[in-house]
């Protein structure tokens, strides 16, 4: 800090999605309904997997863990956004801002690793079915889940630790609907080049490594499916894998465009749209993508309803 009169910011103002008063009520209703369905869908899926012994297998343990990560990601962003839509006071404390980013970042990183483990699970189940109990046991699956969450928490903690060293005195206005880390760098009066570099390196490594694991796994699955003579087995494998790939494409596509592409952060409106996808829309869609196309989940739901 120089000797000039500079006030260090202790709270921020989140500008939100729009400043148009006529759009605030419709947006609130839309995102409130989406959030409600997101929580019911994800928490309901977790409860169903927990209660039904038929679903106590690696595939569904991973699906339940993904649902929990989705619920956390959505809950870290959506409630504050809904309050800001209706409120004239869009302030958020510095500590609240960092906490919001921490939980969202942890959830997003965890989801990357969970999706890669789910792809590996499908690879073993389809390509090596006889070795599946050994290569993907319940205990090994739980180890994968623990590692995924641990890496997620540590990765986010590193970025929050580096955020603490920054001072914010240029402005306290974040032209976004949540405390997105690239937006925080823009209003920092401390040199944030190290932070930006580490975000790029970690994002490229985590997203690149997990995405390549998914692609290799599903290419192997695709070749195995094409060799399968059983029409029923081929149809079931295609159904399961296509659901996974749809979720992966939506999730990684928006993350790559936001954090890995050259010149990320230059198109504000586009970046806001990308962020809406991986913070709100994908956690909303995942229970439908994985559950409605899964006969075992729908059968377990019918049993519980009866």
- Per-residue confidence in pLDDT tens, the chain, 306 aa: 444 445 567 788 888 777 777 888 899 999 999 999 999 999 999 999 998 888 899 999 999 999 999 999 999 999 999 998 888 788 889 899 999 999 999 999 999 999 999 999 989 988 888 889 889 989 999 999 999 999 999 999 999 999 998 888 777 888 888 998 988 988 888 888 899 999 999 999 999 999 999 999 988 888 887 776 566 666 666 766 776 787 788 888 888 888 776 454 445 677 788 888 889 999 999 888 887 667 778 777 778 777
Tokens of 127: 């390509």
Backbone φ, ψ for residue 13 (5° rounding): -120, 120
Per-residue pLDDT at 305: 77
Number of neighbours of residue 71 by Cβ within 10 angstroms: 22
Per-residue pLDDT at 107: 95
Tokens of 259: 């954090």
**Which alpha helices (DSSP H) does the chain contain, by range?**
21-51, 58-86, 94-127, 132-135, 138-164, 181-186, 193-227, 231-255, 268-276, 282-291, 295-305
Fold of 11-305: Rhopdopsin 7-helix transmembrane proteins (1.20.1070)
Fill in the DSSP letter of residue 129: G
Tokens of 100: 């919001």
Distance CA(20)–CA(7), nearest Å, equals 30
Q: How many CA atoms lie within 13 A of 117 on its CB side?
A: 29
Tokens of 279: 């913070």
Per-residue pLDDT at 264: 45
Per-residue pLDDT at 240: 65
Distance CA(87)–CA(69), nearest Å, equals 28
Distance CA(136)–CA(57), nearest Å, equals 9
- Give residue limits of the domains in the chain: 11-305
User: pTM of the predicted model, to two decimals?
Assistant: 0.89
Three-state SS at 7: coil
Distance CA(38)–CA(78), nearest Å, equals 10
Q: Which of 79, 100, 117 is nearest to 12 (CA)?
A: 100
Tokens of 145: 């889940």
Residue that the structure tokens 């059968």 belong to = 299
Tokens of 108: 């997003």
Per-residue pLDDT at 226: 76
Per-residue pLDDT at 7: 59
Per-residue pLDDT at 206: 94
Neighbouring residues of 265: CB distance < 8 A, sequence distance ≥ 6: 182, 183, 186, 258, 271
Fill in the DSSP letter of residue 4: S
Q: Which of 285, 274, 278, 277 is nearest to 244 (CA)?
A: 285
């Amino acid at each position: 800090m120089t000797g000039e009169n500079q006030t260090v910011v202790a709270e921020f103002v989140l500008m939100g999605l729009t400043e148009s008063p006529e759009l605030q009520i419709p947006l609130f209703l839309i995102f409130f309904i989406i959030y409600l369905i997101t929580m019911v869908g994800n928490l309901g899926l977790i409860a169903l997997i927990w209660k039904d012994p038929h679903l106590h297998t690696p595939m569904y343990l991973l699906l339940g863990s993904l649902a929990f990560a989705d619920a956390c990601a959505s809950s870290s962003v959506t409630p504050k956004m809904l309050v800001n839509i209706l409120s004239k006071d869009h302030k958020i404390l510095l500590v609240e801002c960092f906490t919001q980013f921490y939980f969202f970042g942890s959830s997003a990183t965890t989801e990357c690793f969970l999706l890669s483990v789910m792809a590996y699970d499908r690879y073993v189940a389809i390509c090596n079915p006889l070795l599946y109990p050994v290569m993907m046991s319940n205990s090994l699956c739980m180890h994968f889940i623990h590692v995924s969450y641990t890496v997620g928490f540590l990765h986010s903690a590193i970025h929050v630790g580096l955020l603490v060293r920054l001072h914010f005195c240029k402005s306290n206005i974040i032209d976004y609907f949540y405390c997105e880390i690239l937006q925080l760098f823009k209003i920092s009066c401390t040199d944030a080049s190290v932070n930006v570099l580490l975000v790029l390196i970690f994002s490229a490594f985590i997203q690149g490594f997990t995405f390549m694991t998914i692609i290799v796994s599903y290419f192997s699955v695709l070749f195995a499916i094409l060799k399968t003579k059983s029409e029923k087995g081929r149809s079931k494998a295609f159904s399961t894998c296509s659901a996974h790939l749809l979720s992966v494409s939506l999730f990684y596509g928006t993350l790559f465009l936001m954090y890995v592409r050259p010149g990320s952060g230059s198109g504000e409106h586009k970046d806001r749209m990308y962020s809406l996808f991986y913070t709100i829309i994908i956690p909303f869609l995942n229970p439908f993508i994985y559950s409605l196309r899964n006969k075992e989940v729908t059968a377990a739901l019918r049993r519980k309803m009866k």
